[in-house]
């Protein structure tokens, strides 16, 4: 962490008492700022509040008092998930007070090598693949952080100029950045997500593109080349563009050709040997190969990681097998495209468990994947009815509605046969029933263990 006077004696409001808020507040105090923290909720766990108060930080909980607008703050650092039309946040923006996220704070003081990974889907898996490759090449000084669950504002406090951070960056985090400049930026794909937050797809795409906004010709943009729009977006960067393509649309970076994965003509491995299933994970592997090669990682290490890495928890995670039935946990599939890609990864019949927060869209796009891969659906949450409509269109005969993903497990087990896949891939956010997708996935795994009498592998 480099020494910085950017925040010295600045009065800063941190909105949100989550992990990112607590850690960025501690970091800002260390950098000499005068910090106040505000959270709308009264936290059940008082320990973070006590820790902040011991550092001299004033903590206000239970509401977002608009009186804070009159306190002459120099800067606001907000939790990425808080909407910009929140009255307190909107009030600061109207008063021309800069509103950023903790990623921006971390970027201004990190003097090592930053690799940023964004995209609608595949961020966590790609981030993890890259981190494992770099760690096995260098052994030390490589950290993953960001949206993957470890606040980057926490990690930068223990880093030096010799270290590398591989940061998973969501659109929520990126929209609150101003000077972020990864040496290598990765865009896995861009679909239409989080429009309740960004309001328009243009805003969403622009948020994603902030990962490359400050890159120069000495930096790299690794980008999926299998879509014309993504190719066009690559023209908006000053960085060196490194494409990856599962469909063989470019051989200038990482690509698949005739079932083999290559890096600029060098054969790396067979696509079938990538341990995590699905075409989307081949794309993630290609993105990771590109970054690893740009960073000088040996081919043997790349192959070792891709043939042994079994996936990230809640992202197409193999849970266990029982009586010939394979259970997968893809709770991270919070949008239609993620579930579509998950289904395409299986040749076996799938019993799909899906449903969740209703964001206003319907599910006709899933009909082709339903027709090809799904033998039965068990649906729950606010979108159960809409998903049932799509399943009906696909001609699926077995459609059941239930309370939640836990009760769906026993129904799926009873409806299944040896050789079937039972897949939790909700196609929706979890917030109608669970605080986050991690808890939803954990509850699913608990139910699988209870029904089968086996433990997660």
- Residue 91 has φ and ψ, to the nearest 5°, of -65, -40
In 10 A of CB 74, how many CB atoms? 14
Cα distance between residue 126 and residue 103, in whole Å? 19
Single out the residue of 206, 7, 198, 14 nearest to residue 102, CA to CA. Answer: 14
Q: Is 124 annotated as a binding residue?
A: yes
Q: Is 123 annotated as a binding residue?
A: yes
Cα distance between residue 58 and residue 35, in whole Å? 7
Q: Is 436 annotated as a binding residue?
A: no
Q: Is 38 annotated as a binding residue?
A: no
Q: Is 119 annotated as a binding residue?
A: yes
Q: Is 120 annotated as a binding residue?
A: yes
- Residue 125 has φ and ψ, to the nearest 5°, of -65, -45
In 10 A of CB 38, how many CB atoms? 22
- Counted residue by residue, the chain has a size of 457
Annotated binding site for ATP: 119-125
Annotated binding site: 119-125
């Amino acid at each position: 962490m480099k020494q910085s006077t950017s925040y010295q004696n600045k009065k800063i409001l941190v909105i949100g008492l989550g992990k990112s808020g607590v850690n960025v507040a501690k970091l800002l105090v260390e950098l000499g700022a005068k910090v106040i923290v505000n959270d709308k909720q009264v936290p059940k766990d008082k320990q973070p509040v006590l820790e902040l108060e011991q550092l001299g930080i004033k903590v206000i909980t239970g509401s977002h008092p608009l009186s804070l607008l009159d306190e002459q703050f120099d800067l606001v650092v907000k939790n990425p998930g808080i909407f910009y039309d929140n009255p307190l946040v909107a009030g600061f923006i109207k008063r021309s007070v800069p509103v950023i996220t903790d990623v921006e704070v971390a970027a201004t003081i990190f003097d090592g090598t930053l690799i940023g990974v964004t995209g609608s889907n595949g961020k966590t898996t790609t981030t993890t693949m890259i981190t494992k490759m770099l760690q096995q090449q260098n052994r030390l000084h490589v950290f993953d952080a960001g949206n993957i669950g470890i606040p980057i504002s926490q990690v930068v406090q223990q880093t030096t100029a010799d270290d590398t951070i591989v940061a998973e960056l969501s659109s929520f985090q990126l929209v609150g950045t101003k000077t972020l400049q990864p040496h290598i930026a990765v865009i896995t794909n861009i679909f239409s997500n989080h429009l309740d937050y960004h309001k328009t797809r243009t805003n969403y795409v622009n948020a994603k593109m902030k990962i490359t906004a400050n890159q120069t010709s000495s930096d790299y943009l690794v980008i999926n080349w299998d879509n014309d729009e993504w190719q066009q977006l690559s023209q908006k960067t000053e960085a060196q563009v490194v494409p990856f393509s599962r469909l063989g649309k470019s051989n200038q970076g990482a690509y698949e050709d005739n079932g083999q994965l290559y890096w600029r003509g060098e054969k790396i491995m067979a696509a079938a040997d990538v341990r995590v299933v699905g075409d989307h994970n081949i794309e993630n592997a290609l993105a990771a190969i590109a970054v690893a090669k740009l960073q000088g990682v040996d081919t043997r290490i790349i192959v070792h990681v891709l043939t042994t890495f079994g996936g990230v928890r809640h992202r197409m995670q193999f849970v266990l097998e029982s009586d010939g039935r394979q259970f997968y946990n893809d709770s991270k599939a919070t949008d239609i495209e993620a579930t579509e890609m998950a289904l395409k990864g299986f040749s076996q019949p799938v019993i799909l468990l899906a449903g969740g927060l209703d964001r206003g869209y319907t599910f006709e796009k899933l009909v082709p994947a339903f027709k090809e891969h799904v033998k039965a659906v068990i649906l729950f949450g606010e979108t159960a009815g809409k998903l049932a409509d799509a399943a009906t269109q696909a001609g699926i005969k077995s459609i059941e509605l239930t309370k939640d993903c836990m009760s769906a497990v026993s129904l799926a087990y009873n409806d299944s046969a040896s050789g079937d896949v039972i897949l939790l891939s909700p196609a929706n956010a979890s917030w109608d029933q669970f605080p986050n997708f991690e808890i939803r996935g954990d509850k699913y795994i608990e139910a699988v263990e209870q029904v089968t009498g086996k433990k997660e592998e």
